[in-house]
Chains A and B, each alone.
Chain A
Amino acid sequence: MIPNLDNLPVYDTAGVNERIARFCSRSIKSNSKLEGLRLALSMVDLTTLEGKDTTGKVQQICYKAMHPHDTLKNIPTVAAVCVYPAQVANAVKALKDSGIQVASVATAFPSGQSSLEVKLLDTKFAVDQGANEIDMVISRGQFLAGNYQYVFDEIVAVKKVCGQAHLKVILETGELDTLDNVRKASELAIYAGADFIKTSTGKIQPAATMQVTYVMLDAIKDYYIKTGKMIGMKPAGGISTSKIALQYLVMLNEVLGEKWMNKNYFRFGASSLVNDILMQLVKAETGIYQSSNYFSKD
């Protein structure tokens, strides 16, 4: 049933910004930095979502996902590869039994401006092709028009079609305008059955920010206190450097803590982040920053 949205916590932007500044001022050094970088790498959903994606391109990023940088020992693979439904079969084939998940966007991504019927078919197609994770978008138009029941029912319907596949619900916070709206949408998604809530499609600016991620983590925290159920979080878009990724991890560490500090409950939707993390890891090992030409660009 749709949750009560009238009594939700509200957010003060200035206060949230201040808290974020505190996370960002943490100084992450030596071993804790390496630990953080490895963890961040293991949480990446390596993403390609372009009209021009081809079988070849998808195969290349799948190989990158399995072999981020073979000269570095003891580094994890990424968590998942994220593609459009039409590329799911390619990705499944390329990743074989590597343990890396195949995530597919669905439901008329990125705008979500289609009928429920089409969205369900879109989801079903992706699941049938072998996607283990579905990244759906909510209907922002309906949300902003106040049709919360519509948004809720849609998520419930998509969740049903997902079956065993994990459902990540994209709020597209860049279109929701206020932090209070972000909280409201998080609440709808969580109660409708989301396994993860996700900030953005990456197609709208601003994409993920620490502010909206903070509010979503707070929603996850309150839900856990109330029900004991853990929901995952995925900021996506704009997280391109190790420094930013570590700041997100500091926030995760200090807001939700140890249970969430793994790829089952936290993901980064990113692509260029991977090479930046690798560059930092190589720097830690060799003491020098290598040219970006030493890191494969797939």
Chain B
Amino acid sequence: MFKASWAYDEAPESTNHIQLKNKYDLYIDGKFTKPVKGQYFDTIDPSTNEKIASVAEATSEDIDKAVEAAKKAFVGWSKLSGKERGKYIFRIARLIQERAREFAVIESLDGGKPIRESRDLDIPLAANHFFYYAGWADKLTYAFPNRSPKPIGVVGQIIPWNFPLLMAAWKLAPALATGNTIVLKPAETTPLTALKLAEIIQESGLPKGVVNIVTGAGETGAAIVNHPNIDKIAFTGSTNVGKYIQKAIAGTHKKLTLELGGKGANIIFDDAAIDQAVEGIINAIFFNQGHVCCAGSRLFVQESVAKLVIDKLKNRMETLIVGNPLDKNTDIGAINSKKQLQTIENYIKIGLNEGGEIYQADCKLPIKGNWCAPTLFLNVSQSHRIVQEEIFGPVLAIQTFRTIDEVIEKANNTPYGLSAGVWTQNGAKIFHLTQKLKAGVVWANTFNKFDATSPFGGTKESGFGREGGLHGLKPYVKFD
């Protein structure tokens, strides 16, 4: 009914300013090092499925070397004054800012996310995290008064593919500020920005071995998790892998923080600012193609405004631009990998078989690459699998509700507990819900907002431990 008629010409961000090697080695002990077994894998551009570069596959022998380097480096790094540690972290933050444009382009190339997001969100936030924790490095005794915080030792960090550089920053910055040394593994589909970060770390003059970046898939991750000389594991990823890790380190001395899956409830009351709530729904589920652990993937709309909200939502979806991640006008980019696309398509099939009513935006999808149109499922209930399980894609399950108690019960009726959103212009209602909803973060009249000063993390099967803010220091220190 309100079809846009003015089609914007292509506005691609240029790629001629980026520097990428054909082949990337492991960053161990301050040097790029060939993998012991000499194996490499391809990292591909999910918008075309073409190869970008070869990346080393680290085996347990390489992990031994990395952990050894980190252990050696710990002696000096942990004794360095907080002020000196802070200087290095500040330097890394500034170098990321200086090369923000290059990072943004590589992030979109390797991961498929729209350049608008990598440019405006991923990269600036990553720099912010380093700046923020650099500031804490010499103030740890104020963060934990009278408790003399000490670093834990060698930390193994395993990060996901949805926000590659940002998740690296979330993990590295607090660990460095508190004096730990690190072995970090980026996800196998998106290793490039972490490897570019390794170059920056090298350039920053950070003492060798303090940060080691090793690439590889699940087996590489398992080698880190099971390594006897690692003192702490920090993992962000799926709940299944999280459970595996918890089992694997049971009975060892290793500390653990997990940030896992979610099935966030986004709740729209009839007294909400409806138009902004619709925008909030879009942002909650279609941000980063829905590859967001805290995505608002379960929508609850109060029945009296359900038709209005759904009509407006469908209408708004028509103006979303799906396509080339490097185009500045792209709203929704490529699905991160073939495998993930299969997972999403499988869930869409399940939804249809379960009798859900599907609605997809009428948008042209590119032929090459991995793409999924923004999708809604109507007429579903808590008993549907697409409502219960994390899809990790642009697929929203919509239910209606009548009363506050009903929606609280349904919102909490999930093994997950990472995020939730509440939309109402009634302040009292907001406070009532924020107390009752079992979720690590509850947004009111907004969604998917992140800040370096704000702690983030889950409850229930969404994990434990916090990243960001003062709380984010705690998992990386021990007390006498």
Residues 1-30 (chain B) with a chain A CB within 8 angstroms: 1-11
Supposing A9-B274, A27-B328 touch, asked if A15 and B279 sit within 8 A by C-beta, the answer is yes
Partner of B276, one of A19, A35, A225: A19
Interface string of A231-254 (1 = CB under 8 A from B): 000000000000000000110011
Digitize A248-279: 1 where CB-to-B-CB distance is under 8 Å, 0 elsewhere: 01100111111101000000000000000000
Closest CB-CB distance, B222 to chain A, in whole Å? 42
Give chain B nearest CB distance to A127 CB in angstroms: 33
The proximity string for B residues 416-437 relative to A, scoring 1 for CB distances below 8 Å and 0 otherwise, is 0000000001000000000000
Q: In chain B, what residue has the closest Cβ to A225?
A: B1
Complex Cα distance A31/B8, Å? Answer: 8
Are the C-beta atoms of B2 and A255 separated by less than 8 Å?
yes
Q: Is the CB of B8 within 8 A of A9?
A: no
1/0 contact string of A2-37 vs chain B (CB within 8 Å)? 000000011110111011000001111111110110
* CB of B409 within 8 Å of the partner chain: no
Q: Which residues does chain A contribute within 8 Å of B279, judged by CB atoms? A: 15, 18-19
Is the C-beta of A153 less than 8 angstroms from some C-beta in chain B? no
CB of B4 within 8 A of CB of A257, answer yes
State whether A27 touches B2 (Cβ < 8 A).
no
Interface of B is mostly: loop
A9 touching B275 by the CB < 8 A rule? yes
Categorize the interface residue count of chain A: 35 or more
The closest CB in chain A to the CB of B271 belongs to A10
Q: Which B268-286 residues sit within 8 Å CB-CB of chain A?
A: 271, 273-277, 279-280
Asked whether, in the complex, the Cβ of B8 is within 8 Å of the Cβ of A32, the reply is yes
Known: A9-B275, A15-B273. A256 touches B2 (CB 8 A): yes
Contact call B9/A32, Cβ cutoff below 8 A: yes
In the assembled complex, A221 has its CB within 8 A of some CB on chain B: yes
Give the distance to chain B from A126, nearest Cβ to Cβ, in Å: 34
Answer whether residue A218 sits at the interface, using C-beta atoms and an 8 A cutoff: yes
A253 adjacent to B5 (CB under 8 Å): yes
CA distance A26 to B425 in the complex (A): 29
B91 at the interface (CB under 8 A from A): no
Chain B nearest CB, measured from A34 CB (Å): 10
Contact present for A254 and B4 (CB under 8 Å): yes
Contact B11 A29 (CB under 8 A): yes
User: Which residues does chain B contribute within 8 Å of A30, judged by CB atoms?
Assistant: 9-10
Partner of A9, one of B1, B4, B273: B273
Expressed in whole angstroms, the Cα–Cα distance for A172 and B1 within the complex equals: 29
Encode contact with B along A212-229: 1 for CB under 8 Å, 0 otherwise.
000000100100110000
Residue from B5, B271, B274, B319 in contact with A261 in the complex, judged by beta carbons closer than 8 Å: B5
New A-B contacts (6) at CB < 8 Å, excluding given A15-B275, A29-B10, A225-B1:
A11-B276, A19-B276, A28-B8, A255-B2, A257-B4, A258-B4
